A and B are shown apart, each in its own frame.
Chain A
């Protein structure tokens, strides 16, 4: 089993749609969780950290379920500019930061 698993997609959604991504992780000792965004042929950039209580940043909502070991990202009112690959990132053992393989999102006009 991979340490961090994501549905690779692709997710193709119309503008204005709501889309949700899930990610599961295998290490129950993991303490830090993030969503990164990577545009085509660019470097990954932090989208948001994921806190136990859940957190929201504008149209983006991240949630953590420790009992089931999964993380979610919800994007509301999708924009064309949201098209990218979304990477789930988990910090497990000290010094180990593991990236999921990414979920590709395309928002269509």
Chain B
């Protein structure tokens, strides 16, 4: 079975550009999570969806970040405009039972903003 799929795996962009990260959760999973990981702050939950509906976006750092889930098999995380401090690894994860159970992580997108 395919796991969580993320694209691109690596992204290098210039400050001010728009960045779109993509995620395909495991089929049948009804929860989807976006995380960001940096050396300084560790792994942070940005937002999560249940049945395509955003439930908690309190972790989204600011208005430059937005996330959508138009259907059960696709989600995007957009940063516009990007800044160097957005450089991090962004993980998408999915699960069957929300935050009370195992989450399956994708391989991550390593974002570098210069």
Which residues of A come within 8 Å of B, CB atoms? 31-32, 34, 42-46, 49, 87, 91, 94-102
Interface status of B34 (Cβ within 8 A of chain A):
no
Residues of chain A lying within 8 A (CB to CB) of residue B35: 99
Further 13 A-B residue pairs, CB within 8 A, beyond A44-B105, A95-B99? A32-B99, A32-B101, A46-B103, A87-B43, A94-B99, A95-B56, A96-B56, A97-B33, A97-B103, A99-B42, A99-B44, A100-B42, A102-B42
The answer to whether A43 and B99 have CB atoms under 8 Å apart is no
The answer to whether A43 and B108 have CB atoms under 8 Å apart is yes
Given A42-B107, A43-B108, A44-B105, are A91 and B42 neighbors across the interface (CB < 8 Å)?
no
Residues of chain B lying within 8 A (CB to CB) of residue A94: 99
Which residues of B come within 8 Å of A, CB atoms? 33, 35, 42-45, 48, 55-56, 91, 98-103, 105-108
- Roughly how many angstroms separate A87 CA and B42 CA in the complex, as a whole number? 10
Q: How many Å from the CB of A14 to the closest CB on chain B? A: 27
Given A31-B100, A43-B91, are A96 and B107 neighbors across the interface (CB < 8 Å)?
no
Q: How many Å from the CB of A98 to the closest CB on chain B? A: 8
Residues of chain B lying within 8 A (CB to CB) of residue A31: 100
Closest 10 CB pairs of A and B: A43-B105, A97-B99, A101-B42, A99-B43, A95-B56, A46-B102, A32-B100, A91-B99, A44-B105, A43-B107
